[in-house]
A and B are shown apart, each in its own frame.
Chain A
């Protein structure tokens, strides 16, 4: 291209894109984040881990010789309530959401983003939506495949409406869990330098301890509200967290209704996301470090 052609390309003020809408900005941020997440090795690793529960009902169906094996619906509910929600949902949040903002700071690509006419809130929200889409797809597929695998056992059918409603219910609970855990993970990524370490301590340490301590400290966990959303009649609960009689008694006294649990999950999500957005907006990200943090 010669000099005149370059000049012609540059001197076109009419060619400058028009002011972008907020939704467009969020969608741009989300689309990039989805692409980045899916190109990472971490994505494949998380997917493999998330699909492991599918093997359990299959192993029971084809390998177990136990005469009194659990029925398919019991296995499915147990896997959802003991693996998918308390273990895999926080794991996916830590895998994907904790680095959504922190990664750009670490790789020093943040000045490119922050010198765009992009509201910082749109950037954070777009990335959060990308995480939610990817993590919900992985966990939702895992729950669906676990359901299908459990249907190889008795008392669970791929065509029974009630069974399919049960599946839909658990997918919605998974979405709620991923939303709250993801917001917490974004918050940790913005406010700490080791979000995964703090995330593991909070989600696998504190949450477990709080659930077995007698009293009301379990209100300070996300899992309290996630568990309140489990389908009541399907809860063949072998909840290992409630180890003591006193603990069981108090958990019953301070039970949370599903509506209040949803409100709490939305509130927790909003608080963590808004705090993260305010921090990102106020901070000075020159290169790799955040000044004034």
Chain B
């Protein structure tokens, strides 16, 4: 199976900011999650693969060729950017239609392909409405429609779940899975492991512009499970709350701040259950809680130590 993307000693810097640092990476066909915290270099990597940026050093090849200003590569790829911007005063259909014209299609072909693409993302019923009236989920679908309209072999989706409500996310997971099942290679970037886990088992982890891991999601998940979860619980009276957790065998460390308790645990489910029970009993006031591991930052810190 030949690689769809290959990066060799790839670096990209903007002034003094190193966005991609000496990256060696091979991505095979299929659905691949590009995972990393904000600022990891995911979007820059995608833009290098699309030819929007040129490498500062090294090279990137997409479908066997360098992508920058390469019409042969651009004909075979589709891109759904992270930005939520559209042309003014445009309907969803018109948006896809005009971008088809930029593809070089004639007026009739562009209209037919726009209709097909809108149908693929289930937007036919609303495609003649102004984009300003669309929900976030519908705008995402129209962005994907424009990327699919010319039957690409490789699709880049940059943070497609951003800003979507739970139902919109479910629809997006389902759509991406369908695209993968239909034989498309899809690169999906995200900073949330859970999202990628719902879509694919193949993942690339970027951190500070470098590759730190590549493989199956479950391997990453095991790493996370071995790594203690940190939960911050805000309370006006943190001491009695800390006492409740201190004797629990699943709890590794309990720290007390002025208005909060920080709990590090290897049994997050048990810890959340205990918090639920405490709130139901109503004995101890709890204002809010936050799991700092949600952002993957802790795992990346752990992997890069």
Contact = CB atoms under 8 A, between A and B. Distances in A.
Interface of A: 1, 3, 6-7, 9-13, 15-17, 19-21, 24-25, 28-29, 31-32, 35-36, 39-40, 107-109, 111-120, 123, 281, 284-287, 291
Interface string B39-81: 0000110010011111000000000000001011011011101
B120 A17 contact: no
A281 B103 CA distance: 17
B150 A16 contact: yes
Contact of A7 (B50, B77, B183): B183
Interface of B: 14, 43-44, 47, 50-54, 69, 71-72, 74-75, 77-79, 81, 83, 85-89, 98-99, 101-107, 109-110, 113, 116, 119-120, 122, 146, 148, 150-151, 153, 178-179, 181-184
B119 A19 contact: no
A9 B116 contact: yes
Contacts of A285: 52
A6 B122 CA distance: 10
Nearest to A120: B69
B211 to A, nearest CB: 21
Contact of A1 (B86, B119, B184): B119
A20 B105 contact: yes
B103 A116 contact: yes
Contact of A107 (B85, B101, B178): B85
Nearest to B122: A1
B85 A28 contact: no
A116 B74 contact: yes
Contacts of B43: 286
B182 to A, nearest CB: 4
16 contacts: A9-B119, A10-B179, A12-B151, A16-B150, A16-B151, A24-B105, A25-B102, A29-B102, A107-B87, A108-B85, A109-B87, A113-B102, A114-B51, A116-B99, A116-B102, A284-B47
Contacts of B120: 1, 6, 9-10
Nearest to A1: B119
Given A31-B101, A36-B87, A118-B104, A10 B74 contact: no
Contacts of A109: 85-87
A116 B76 CA distance: 10
B104 A20 contact: yes
Contacts of B77: 115
Give me the 7 closest cross-chain CB pairs, A-B, nearest first: A20-B104, A28-B101, A7-B182, A117-B74, A10-B182, A16-B151, A117-B71
A132 B49 CA distance: 35
A213 to B, nearest CB: 41
A25 B183 contact: no
Contacts of B51: 114-115
Contacts of B178: 3, 6-7
B42 to A, nearest CB: 13
A287 B74 contact: no
A115 B86 contact: no
A32 B122 CA distance: 25
Contacts of A29: 101-102
B89 A39 contact: yes
A11 B98 contact: no
Nearest to A107: B85
A10 B105 contact: no
Contacts of B74: 115-118
A286 B53 CA distance: 7
Given A7-B181, A107-B85, A284 B99 contact: no
A112 B81 CA distance: 8
Looking at B101, B179, B182, which has the most chain A CB atoms within 10 Å of its CB?
Answer: B101
A5 to B, nearest CB: 9
B104 A11 contact: no
A169 to B, nearest CB: 35
**Most chain B Cβ neighbours within 10 Å, of A40, A108, A284:** A284
A133 to B, nearest CB: 16
Contacts of A24: 104-106
A10 B175 CA distance: 12
Contacts of A117: 71-72, 74-75, 103-104
B99 A291 contact: no
Nearest to B99: A112
B122 A115 contact: no
